[in-house]
Amino acid sequence: MRLGADEGQPELIYTHGIRHGVWVPRLLVSIPPALRGETFSEASADAMQRQLIHSWFAAGFQPVSLNTASELNTHPRHRFALEAEGVEVLEVPSSSREFPAYLPNLACSLHLAVQRFPGQVLAITNADILIDLHHTTTGMLGRLPKDRFLLAHRCDVSDRSLIQHGATDRRLVEPRPFLPGIDFVAACSEAFAAALPFLGEDLTIGLPWWDLLLPMALFAAGATSQHLDSLQFLHLMHEDRWDVRWLDRVGASATKHLNATIAGYKAPVTAFIWSLAFQKLSSPLQTPKILRSRLKTAADLRRQGRRCPVYLGLPEKGKPYLS
C-alpha cells in the first residue's frame, strides 16, 4: 500500500502488516461492499471508504477486514478490491440464523483474530471512522501492556469536509461527542483472548451493544482502561440503520451472559474487579445528561404500561436489574 505519492509526500509502504521490519498494530474493521451509496469495488480514489482506509494506514495500522462468507459470496469482487487496497481479509462467521448473515459475530471474529495474530496489538473500529492519531497515542500502542486496553468514545461530525481538518483544527469546528458509543478499542491479543468468555453469542458487529460491552468484558477479565481523545476518531453522522428490536434483544442477552460469567467465577481478587464492571452496566459509560434522558424515557414507558428495555438502565417492576 502506497500513500502520499500523489501529494508529493514520502511514500509509506506496508506489506502484510510489517513496516520497517516491525509488526504494526492490526486494525479489525468490517468493511462493507458499499458505504454511503458508494460501491467499494467501483469507487473512485476519492471515495469516502478509500479516504478512511488511507487514514488507517497513515495512522500506522494494518487494516484487517472482517467479512462473513455470505457477504463475500454475494459480492465476489469485494475481497479482491480490499486486497488491492492493501487490506487483509479475514473470513468470519455471522451470528445465529436469526441475525443478518452479512454481519460478523463479535466473539467468533475476535477468536479468529487472536489465533491469526498471536502476541500482537489488535484494535477494532467501525468502517466509517477516520483516524488521525496523536504521536502520544502511537507511542501508547507501541508500548501497550498486556493488562491494559485503550478506548475512545464516538465523535460525530455533520459535514464530510470536516474530516479534512487536522486533529487540532477539529476543536474549532465543534464536533459532537457521543459518549454512549465507543468507536475504538485496542489491546494485546492476550487481553482479547481473556475477554472472550464474557462476550455473549448475540453480540454482533454492526448491531447495538458490542462496542459498549467489549470494554466491559476486557475490564471484567482484569485489564485496566485508558481513555483516548475522541477527536482522533471522527464519525460522519447518519441515521441509525438497524432495527430497534436488536437493541432490546442483544442488550438483554449479552448483559445477562456477562453477569452470569462474572458471578460464576470464584477467585476473590478478580471477582471484585469483575463485580465493579457489572455495576457500571446500570448506566454504561453515560454522562449525567444522558442518564437523565434515559431515566425520563423509562418513566414514560412505565406510565404507558410498557416494558422498560434493558438498555435504559432500570429494572422491571419487582425484578433486580438484568435478572
Residue 123: pLDDT over 50: yes
| 194-240 residue pLDDT tens | 999 999 999 999 988 899 889 988 988 888 889 898 888 888 775 65
Which runs of E-coded beta strand occur in 94-193? 121-125, 129-131, 148-157, 176-188
Which is more confidently placed, 63 or 97? 63
Which is more confidently placed, 251 or 108? 108
Cα 54 to Cα 164: distance, rounded to the nearest angstrom: 12
Residues with Cβ within 8 Å of residue 204, at least 6 apart in sequence: 94, 95, 99, 100, 103, 104, 105, 106, 210, 246, 250
| 31-56 residue pLDDT tens | 999 887 788 888 787 788 898 999 99
| 1-10 residue pLDDT tens | 333 333 333 3
Question: What pLDDT score was predicted for residue 300?
Answer: 65
The three grid cell numbers given for residue 107, joined into one nine-digit string: 466473539
| 58-74 residue pLDDT tens | 999 999 999 999 999 99
Q: Average the pLDDT over each of 71-80, 81-90, 163-172 and give the range with the smallest value.
A: 163-172
User: Please, what are the domains in the chain?
Assistant: 2-247 (3.90.550), 286-323 (no CATH)
